Structure 1
């Protein structure tokens, strides 16, 4: 649990994943035969297998959604832009940390026009992020520029909490959960195949790291490890998100209505067989929504057979996501058994 907590609380907005790289390197230094970081920032841990055996890549993106300093006004308030998919309404009155490139991290709070001076029409509208700002306590622009610079990354402040029923709550579970799964599989897997454990960069802004690292490694088989929407709370219809927490990982058959990945039968059957033969619970998902690194990987070079296995998670893309560590464990088991069966 301590490793999951460390991964959740560590900062790693897209393009600034170095702290996650350090954690993965530390955790796998006695497991992998080789660890390297490529020019994009992807970290690659290689566990060598036998000659002429298959090669398998496990890809988990390290980055989280966040913000970036865009402008500093004359009164020292920070104007920001979003990095990754963020719902404007979740930003209001959040506390944040600006990871300053000129000094220590700076704590701020997201503010906007107060309701006391808004019209009735304004009160009924969601405030857009472009109408918000960050207050860091600076008295003017000159003082603020000594604390932060344009381009500094910003993360949301959150706690990590252990819930009943072996559940956890924290920020960036999308996709530090996948990073945790990737590392644990690499520790446990016992196969003749060569296995690459990869932490990818910039997934939230275009699947960028996955594109370059899959071209470099060109594996025979790949698994993208991520999280998926858990539809087991108020406000969601069962048919909108049938995957639920506590019933095992989701084996993705299609995402983004097929604009993302359409999983090949050979990969789907490999995962289903691993679950059925080892009494590992799993769920099947067909999604209309977003996509994962798997989309970029399976279109690389001449095509790479790719599966996506995701942990059901509530409140994705907020600082307060919730998932089940039982689902995380069963995801590790499912991937491990699938690879061992090759």
Structure 2
């Protein structure tokens, strides 16, 4: 079957649609729906009850090394914990948030009918704060979500919101043609999701020397839970992880910047969960150099991603190709189209050069 490749206008729309999609951990249905639509003609698609999606390249034959392409679909968000008598709703964080970025944000809450209700994260107005309270950061337990209700009965009967309801920031993704920048939410990891879909589309008509299986995994933000299931099903010999990594060019001195915007995808050597296979990493770096693809190398003192789970399953050599995300894990983030484009080109060129003999050298 002939599959049309991803052009720039389609890629921009895909990235925007994925950013706008609402999907905290375990509630990734909107995201998986978009992804499945995008890769519909690229191979066999299956989905499990965790919302993990698998795509087998149409030319896989089961007799070659298996390469897993991974990205996670979920975003950081919140969940309704309790409804107070006055209609204010307590919530918990789903994924890692800095509390300072949460107050006064507009959010969407999904009710029992699947409708998304607008609300705001409220806190005590300064008029009612002590001098000490005005100068310290609020705790999440001191914040609440307000949809304009005045009682718990209203929340139940009018808004249809229940305990356990998912909550996401209410942000619409924008693209600036002049700067080539996106401004939106959830680029960790909707940009990885876009890369996964784009790679499968662009490579759909190519006959490779490896079998390629895409695994769009769920629940990464709460402990890489989907990846644990995905890797056991795919059983990869090798893996490439697509991520949206925190950009450091606004917080680090020049000599420590390793994931700057517009400087190319970031190849991770080390984080708190994985030491990247140095042979596979060198292979990727050499391919980037041969094809004039700018890349950044990163040694992180923290962080983590699905690659650690994949690598620990059977020792499969794994690399992480990341697009830098300014202000990751906040409601508003920047990414650069050029970084997405270069990450895609790097992944495709790596796949074209992989074979059993090359794998034996890793």
TM-score interval for Structure 1 and Structure 2 normalised by the shorter chain: over 0.9
TM-aligned CA distance change 1:166 to 1:38, over 3 Å:
same
Q: Are the equivalent residues in 2 in contact too, given 1:274–1:334 (CA < 8 A)?
A: yes
Q: What's the TM-score, normalizing by structure 2?
A: 0.90
- Measured in 2, the distance between the counterparts of 1:125 and 1:84 equals 23
1:236 aligns with 2:252: yes
Within the candidate set 224, 242, 252, 1:225 is matched to 242
Instruction: Indicate the residue corresponding to 1:255 in structure 2.
Output: 271
Please name the residue that 1:57 is paired with. Answer: 68
Partners of 2:62 and 2:165 lie apart in 1 by: 46
Q: Is the 8 A contact 2:71 2:192 kept in 1?
A: yes
Question: Structure 1: any 5+ residue segments left out of the alignment?
Answer: none
Structure 1 length normalisation: TM-score? 0.95
Whole-angstrom CA distance in 2 between matches of 1:19 and 1:262:
33
Moved more, 304-313 or 324-333: 304-313
* Equivalence map 1:231-310=2 (5 Å): 231-233=248-250, 235-256=251-272, 260-300=273-313, 302-310=314-322
Name the CA distance, whole Å, in 2 between partners of 1:56 and 1:86.
33
Q: Does the residue aligned with 2:328 lie in a helix, a strand or coil?
A: coil
Shift of residue 103, structure 1, vs aligned partner: 5.7
Partner of residue 13, structure 1 = 24
* Shift in Å, 1:143: 1.3
1:212 maps to which of 219, 229, 242: 229
CA apart distance, 1:309: 0.9
Match of 1:143 among 135, 154, 162: 154
Contact residue 258 and residue 296 of structure 2 kept, 8 A? no
| RMSD, aligned α-carbons | 1.3
How big is each residue's C-alpha offset from its partner over 1:241-277, in whole Å with a ceiling of 9 and x where there is no partner?
4321111101111012xxx110112210221121011
Count of residues in correspondence between the two structures: 336
1:268 & 1:82 partners in 2: Cα distance? 34
Q: Which residue of 1 aligns with 2:15?
A: 4
Cα distance between partner residues in 2 of 1:61 and 1:283: 22
What does residue 344 of structure 2 align with? 332
Within 2, Cα distance between the matches of 1:30 and 1:223? 22
SS in 2 for 1:279: coil
Structure 1 ranges of 4+ moved more than 4 A:
none
Match of 1:318 in 2: 330
